[in-house]
Amino acid sequence: FKMIRSIRGTPEVLDSALKALKEWNPPEKGFRRIIFIGCGSSYFSSLAGNHVLLKGSRVESHAFPASEFMLHYRELAKDALVVASSRSGKTGEVIEAIKVAKKKSATIIGVTCNENSKIEEISDETIVIPSGEEPNIPATKSFSSITFVLQGIAVKLLEREDKLKELEAIKPTVKKILAQEDEYRPIAERLVSKRVFVHLGSGSGYVVALEGALKFRETLGLPNEVFPALEFRHGPVALLRGVKGLQPILIAPKGDSTDALKRLVNDLASRNADPLVFTNSGIFENCVRIPWDGSEELAVIPFVVPIQIIAYYLAVLSGLNPDFPEGLVKVVER
Ligand code: F1P
C-alpha cells in the first residue's frame, strides 16, 4: 500500500526538510507577531510550530485553521509574519487567507511539498520540500516534513542553536521506529475490535492526538474524539458510562505534563477505562515506549510515526484500503 510506503519514506523527506531549513534565514525585519495557518494536517503542523514558539515565550504567536483566520482574525495580520502551510500548495482557503494577510501588509512564508504551486506564486518566500506523496492518500511523511520545517522556523526565530541539534536527532529516531515497524501490528490487533477512540494529549502530545485522530478517521471512516488530556475530566468523562468499549489513547511525551498525565491514567484506571499510553517517560507501566530522548517541544514527529503505522495496520486488519479513504479529495480548492 502507498500509505505504508509513504510512512517508510519519512527519513528521506526529513533530510530534504533539514537541508531546506539550513538554507533558510529569518527575515531581518522585526514583526509584531507570528501567525501559522493551514488546513487539516497542515493546521496541526501549524500548531506544532506554534507550540515551540509559545514555549520559548519571546514573541506573540498564534496558529489558526486558514479558514478561521480569514473569517475572524484577519486584523491580526497587520505587520505580522504569516507562515502558511499546504501539502498541495493550492488549498483554496490557504490561498485566500494569504491574499487577505497580504492586504494587511503581512510578510508571507509559504511551506509546501509541491513545486511550482500557487502558494509559491503568491508568498514572499516559499520553502518547498518535495515529498512525492500523492495528495489523495492520508498525509504521513508530508505531515512530518511540514511539521519539521515549522518547528525549525520557530527554533530559528527563537535563536535556539541547541534545539537545531535536537531537530537533527529526529531522523535517526524515526529510523529506529521504522526498523521495529512490525512491533506495532499486535497493538493494532489489540485495538481493532474497539470502535470508538478518545485521543488525549497535552502540549506536543495534543498535536499528535489531533493528527492521530484524523488518521484514524481517514483510514477507518469512524468517528472518534480528541481532547487536551485533562479536559477529558471536564464533561467528556461521561462517555465512559455511555459508550461501551471506548478506548482512550494517551500521548504522553516526557515533560511538564508528565505528573499530571500519570494522575489522569490512575484516574481512568479507577474508572475501569484502560488507556493505551504512548510515552518516553519511565513512570508509566504497560505502555508503548517511544525511543525519543529529546525535548517535549520536538516530540511530535517521533510520536506521530508509530500512530500512523497503527492507523495503517488498523485499516488493513479491518479489510479497508488505506490509500483510498472514501470522501478524501485530493485538494479542497473551493
Ligand atoms: C489540506 C487537507 C489535508 C488532508 C486532505 C484534505 O491539504 O486538509 O491535510 O489530508 O488531503 O486536505 P493541504 O493544504 O495540506 O494540501
Predicted pLDDT of residue 333 = 76
Distance 217 CA to ligand 1 centre (A): 14
Distance 136 CA to ligand 1 centre (A): 9
The string of pLDDT tens digits covering residues 217-267 is 999 988 899 999 999 999 999 999 888 889 999 999 999 999 999 999 999
| Boundary residue ending a domain (143, 168, 193) | 168
Q: Would you put residue 25 in left (φ > 0), alpha (ψ -120 to 50) or beta? A: beta
Quickly state the pLDDT bin for 52 (edges 50, 70, 90).
very high
Predicted pLDDT of residue 276 = 97
Identify which of 232, 211, 214, 233 has the alpha carbon closest to the alpha carbon of residue 223: 214
Determine the Cα–Cα distance for residues 282 and 159; give it in Å rounded to an integer. 31
Position 325 in a domain: no
The string of pLDDT tens digits covering residues 117-158 is 999 999 999 999 998 898 778 999 999 999 999 999 999 999
Q: Which atom of ligand 1 is nearest to the CA of 40?
A: 8
Nearest CA residue ID for atom 14, ligand 1: 86
Q: What is the Cα Rg of the chain in Å?
A: 19
Name the grid cell of 301. 514527529
Q: Which atom of ligand 1 is nearest to the CA of 330?
A: 11
Name the grid cell of 133. 506523496
Predicted pLDDT of residue 136 = 79
Q: Mean pLDDT over residues 16-24, rounded? A: 97
CATH number for the domain that contains residue 188: 3.40.50.10490
Q: Are residues 154 and 65 part of one domain?
A: yes
Predicted pLDDT of residue 329 = 65
Quickly state the pLDDT bin for 57 (edges 50, 70, 90).
confident
Q: Are residues 57 and 122 part of one domain?
A: yes
Q: Are residues 194 and 135 part of one domain?
A: no
Q: Are residues 202 and 141 part of one domain?
A: no
Whether complex ipTM tops 0.85: yes
| pLDDT over 70, % of the chain | 98
Q: Are residues 63 and 204 part of one domain?
A: no
Position 324 in a domain: no
What DSSP string describes 95-134? HHHHHHHHHTT-EEEEEESSTT-HHHHHSSEEEE------
CA 167 to chain centre: 15
Position 197 in a domain: yes
Domain residues for the domain of 132 are: 2-168
Q: Is the pLDDT reported for residue 286 higher than 80?
A: yes
Contact 45, 146 (CB under 8 A): yes
Q: Is the pLDDT reported for residue 324 higher than 80?
A: no
Which residues' Cβ are closer than 6 Å to ligand 1? 39-42, 86-88, 91, 94, 135, 138-139, 328, 331-332
Predicted pLDDT of residue 330 = 66
User: Cα torsion at 18, 21, 23, 25 (round to 10°)?
Assistant: -160
Q: Are residues 202 and 87 part of one domain?
A: no
Q: Are residues 154 and 11 part of one domain?
A: yes
Predicted pLDDT of residue 244 = 85
Q: Are residues 58 and 182 part of one domain?
A: no
Helices (H), the chain: 2-8, 10-23, 41-56, 66-72, 92-103, 118-122, 141-157, 161-168, 170-179, 185-191, 204-220, 239-242, 258-270, 300-317
| Boundary residue ending a domain (148, 168, 188) | 168
Q: Are residues 206 and 151 part of one domain?
A: no
The string of pLDDT tens digits covering residues 167-202 is 999 999 999 999 999 999 999 999 999 979 999 999
Q: Are residues 126 and 22 part of one domain?
A: yes
Position 108 in a domain: yes
Number of domains composing the chain? 2
Distance 39 CA to ligand 1 centre (A): 6
Q: Which of 36, 37, 42 to mutate to test the pocket of ligand 1 (most atoms within 8 A of CB)?
A: 42
Nearest CA residue ID for atom 8, ligand 1: 40
Q: Which atom of ligand 1 is nearest to the CA of 331?
A: 12
Contact 230, 260 (CB under 8 A): yes
Distance 149 CA to ligand 1 centre (A): 17
Q: Which of 36, 47, 331, 333 to mutate to test the pocket of ligand 1 (most atoms within 8 A of CB)?
A: 331
Distance 330 CA to ligand 1 centre (A): 8
Determine the Cα–Cα distance for residues 218 and 324; give it in Å rounded to an integer. 9
Q: Are residues 293 and 206 part of one domain?
A: yes
The string of pLDDT tens digits covering residues 78-95 is 999 999 999 999 999 999
Q: Are residues 134 and 14 part of one domain?
A: yes
Q: Mean pLDDT over residues 34-43, rounded? A: 98
Predicted pLDDT of residue 328 = 66
Position 326 in a domain: no
Contact 95, 122 (CB under 8 A): yes
DSSP label at residue 312? H
Q: Could you give the strand order of the β-sheet that contains 196-201, starting from the edge strand earlier in sequence?
A: 225-228, 196-201, 246-252, 276-279, 288-289
Distance 87 CA to ligand 1 centre (A): 7
